Structure 1
């Protein structure tokens, strides 16, 4: 993975950064925690400029968020409610739960998109509920861009500062991503258990 990322950035430059960050949003196992620090290291070596590198990463990320956003748009709340009523009983999700989640996202959607863009493990996934809830494209792009700018800027700066040791960024942040995903999974399982206990009590 590292060799492929390195070769892509070396051969394609800023376009390579944008392409990798685009793919990272479609296929989360490709880590931004490795792409942008490598870009920062390349900047430190004088082979790239700092601002264009960040701009390429932000652009690739925001464009990469759109397929998930439009997938959510196509699925939509009504379709999701139908699926929940039909199959949701297996995981204790009903159309009412979908409606509650949709209302919550209407109130906090912008903040949710912004904050989740800074959280490893969920930064890609937030585009899906944004689309499902019908969040307008302009605010979605605005909050996505702001959150992504902070995230990409931080990773690039860390790579610039760490130099040859830029891989340490991924080494320390990769476990964080796993912890976040596992925590969310456990929280969901506990929520399902509690709903089932209330139903049969």
Structure 2
């Protein structure tokens, strides 16, 4: 897994970082917790500056949020709830998940977007209720940008500050990240196989 991320960054440079972070938000095949520290480490090798790394990761991540925001805005809570009820098996998303996310957003307002970007479990999901609530796009992007910048900076700087020690850490990162990916795929398959919308008879 680490070798794939390295290859993307080597061949595409900053665009590779942005692309990986974009895909991580659309469908997380590779976690940002692997992408950004590795990109930060590469900055110590002179491939690119740490500022370029952070900006590339932030821009790519923000681009990945936009489709989710506009999906929420275009479909609305009622249609998304029906979509989750009908196709939730493949999304592993129940109507109750939509309701809870919307309630959490309404209780916290724009700050939910900012702080939600710092929480791995809700980093992408928070874009849906923001769209449903028709949050102003500039406000959504502004709060998302702040949260995303903090997140990508922390991860990139962790790899940057490790410096040469990252070579030692990387020996463990690759098998661990591969194992995590296999586990994620396995959990997804399990949830698809056992998924039941809330309220269905078991």
TM-score, length-scaled by structure 2: 0.71
Matches within 5 A, 1:1-201: 1-80=1-80, 98=99, 102=102, 105-106=105-106, 108-164=108-164, 165=166, 167=170
How far did residue 3 of structure 1 move?
1.7
Q: 1:72 to 1:106 in 2, by over 3 A?
A: same
Which 4+ stretches in 1 moved above 6 angstroms? Answer: 81-86, 168-172
TM-align CA RMSD: 3.5
Structure 1, gaps ≥5 residues long: 179-191, 194-201
Q: 1:111 to 1:11 in 2, by over 3 A?
A: same
Whichever of the two has the greater Rg, that structure is 1
Query: What secondary structure does 2:109 align onto?
Result: helix
Structure 2, gaps ≥5 residues long: 87-93, 185-197
Give CA deviations for 1:106-164 in whole Å, capped at 9, x if unaligned.
45221111111011122111111211222111111011000000000000000011235
Aligned length: 176
Q: 1:136 to 1:47 in 2, by over 3 A?
A: same
How far did residue 29 of structure 1 move?
3.2
